[in-house]
């Protein structure tokens, strides 16, 4: 093979978020002499992964954001693109709302098309209804379907999808080796955040957006403080609710208890500094952050509204987000009964559950080359 095949991934932006991080994990570990990734995005702003993508030989392509009123120009753009770019034999779509449009056009030009569901629909509202209407035809268009969980597949493409030969749960892979607990890393990160060696650190990782339920976490912090529990909270992530969230927490709480660390490229290291991980999302396609937490040996408390597939070790449990008092009691019991919380190496369990990136890359490489 003289040149690598080029796979076009269609999404919004290549910033630090779940789907994008998965794609970069795949991209870093795939044999780029055989398979290259290019990324079609709607944003014109420079994103967190752009420089790395270009250093690995990938391209950033800018396509128009779909607004409804620009339907004709949107369709025209994709028609022109696929006429001019015959190098893309595979189009891997991660934007579900318009997949029925761009994947349909890609098929018209003889491309092999993949629809990838990274989430469930979440609470029923106008946005969800419109999304369902626009994305529904995709199930009759794409050649193949991926989902980060069975729930993500069924929610987007219907129950029958699980019995079809052209569908598969593709786990959100992580480099499991990088999450193995290290006391040296723990001490280094704790030093960076000015955390004492014996302090109990509760934490979470996720964008500050409604699906991640950040206000629940804020109420949880307040409830635990009212119980005179000694702890600090490490919050990894940013988002549109950040200002409102910080207003909700008093200056004293923010100063003494909560560390807003923003976005981090070393989440695997930040997890080492924590003792308990909370993940109260109102919905998730899977919730890879919870898998990462378990990979680092953390006690992981998840919302009962996310797929049970996320529980890959005995360290994971599920609680209802309707009863915050249960979360408070559970955390208090953990701290009071396990002052010296033991961290175990969970590497073998992550491998067995199929979440190590190297095994996923191996399968996906064969898949791509087969359908080129």
Take residue 372 and report the two structure tokens written for it. Answer: 């080129």
Taking a C-beta distance cutoff of 8 angstroms, is the pair 60, 39 a contact?
yes
Based on the domain organization, do 162 and 222 belong to the same domain?
A: no
DSSP H helices, 1-93, are: 18-29, 50-55, 71-84
Give residue 1's pLDDT.
53
Residues 167 and 182 in one domain: no
The DSSP letter of residue 356 is B
Instruction: Answer yes or no: do 214 and 150 share one domain.
Output: no
**Residue 206 shares a structural domain with residue 151:** no
Distance CA 246, CA 96 (A): 32
**pLDDT 10s digits, 59-115:** 999 999 999 999 999 999 999 999 999 999 999 999 988 999 999 999 999 999 999
Residues 146 and 208 in one domain: no
Measured distance CA(223)–CA(220) in Å, rounded = 5
Q: Is 341 exposed, middle or buried (0-12, 13-18, 19+ CB in 10 A)?
A: middle
Give the chain's domain count: 2
Q: What is the pTM of this model?
A: 0.87
pLDDT in tens, 299-351: 999 999 999 999 999 999 999 999 999 999 999 999 887 555 778 899 999 99
Residues 344 and 364 in one domain: no
Residue 262, strand partner residues: 236, 237
**Rounded CA separation 313/299 (Å):** 10
Residue 289 Ramachandran class (φ > 0 left, ψ -120 to 50 alpha, else beta): alpha
Strands, E, within 225-315: which ranges? 232-236, 258-262, 276-279, 299-303
pLDDT at 256 over 80: no
Distance CA 55, CA 59 (A): 9
Residue of 24, 95, 16 lying closest to 357 (CA atoms)? 24
pLDDT of residue 124: 72
Q: Kindly report the CATH number assigned to the domain that includes residue 321.
A: 3.40.50.2000
Statement to judge: residues 144 and 203 lie in one domain: no
Residue span of the structural domain in which 139 resides: 5-173+356-370
Q: What is the enclosing helix (H) or strand (E) of 133?
A: helix 126-135
Instruction: Tell whether 200 and 160 lie within a shared domain.
Output: no
226 pLDDT band, cuts 50/70/90, is confident
Element (H, E) at 190: helix 183-192
Q: Which residue has the tokens 């993500």?
A: 152
CA–CA gap between residue 358 and residue 196 (Å, rounded): 36
Confidence of residue 288 (pLDDT cuts 50, 70, 90): very high
Question: What average pLDDT score do residues 224-251 get?
Answer: 90
Give the number of residues written for the chain. Answer: 372
CA distance 125 to 182: 44
Q: Tell me, what DSSP letter sits at residue 343?
A: P
Determine the pLDDT at residue 16. Answer: 85
Kindly state whether residues 302 and 185 are assigned to the same domain: yes
One domain, residues 143 and 121: yes
Residues 38 and 165 in one domain: yes
């Amino acid at each position: 093979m003289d040149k690598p095949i080029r796979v076009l991934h269609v999404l919004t932006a290549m910033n630090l978020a779940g789907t994008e991080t998965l794609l970069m994990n795949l991209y870093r570990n795939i044999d780029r002499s055989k398979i290259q990734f290019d990324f079609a995005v709607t944003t014109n702003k420079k994103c967190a992964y752009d420089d790395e993508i270009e250093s690995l030989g990938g391209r950033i392509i800018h396509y128009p954001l779909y607004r409804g009123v620009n339907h004709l120009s949107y369709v025209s753009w994709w028609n022109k693109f696929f006429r001019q770019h015959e190098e893309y034999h595979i189009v891997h779509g991660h934007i579900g709302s318009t997949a029925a449009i761009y994947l349909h056009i890609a098929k018209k030009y003889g491309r092999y098309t993949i629809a990838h569901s990274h989430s469930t629909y979440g609470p029923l509202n106008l946005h969800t209804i419109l999304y369902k209407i626009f994305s529904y035809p995709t199930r009759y268009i794409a050649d193949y379907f991926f989902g980060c969980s069975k729930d993500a597949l069924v929610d987007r493409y219907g129950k029958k999808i699980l019995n079809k030969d052209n569908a598969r749960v593709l786990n959100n892979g992580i480099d499991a080796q990088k999450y193995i607990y290290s006391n040296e890393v723990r001490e280094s990160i704790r030093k960076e955040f000015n955390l004492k060696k014996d302090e109990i650190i509760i934490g979470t990782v996720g964008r500050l957006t409604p699906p991640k339920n950040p206000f629940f976490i804020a109420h949880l912090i307040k409830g635990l403080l009212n119980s005179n529990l000694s702890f600090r909270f490490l919050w990894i992530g940013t988002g549109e609710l950040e200002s409102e969230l910080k207003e909700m927490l008093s200056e004293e709480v923010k100063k003494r208890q909560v560390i807003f660390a923003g976005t981090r490229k070393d989440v695997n290291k930040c997890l080492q500094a924590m003792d308990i991980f909370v993940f109260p999302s109102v919905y998730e396609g899977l919730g890879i952050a919870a898998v990462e937490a378990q990979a680092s040996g953390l006690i992981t408390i998840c919302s009962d509204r996310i797929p049970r597939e996320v529980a890959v070790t005995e360290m994971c449990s599920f609680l209802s987000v309707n009863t915050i008092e249960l979360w408070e009691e559970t955390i208090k019991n953990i701290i009071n009964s396990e002052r010296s919380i033991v961290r175990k190496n969970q590497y073998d369990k992550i491998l067995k559950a199929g979440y190590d990136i190297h095994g996923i890359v191996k399968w996906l490489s064969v898949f791509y080359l087969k359908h080129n």
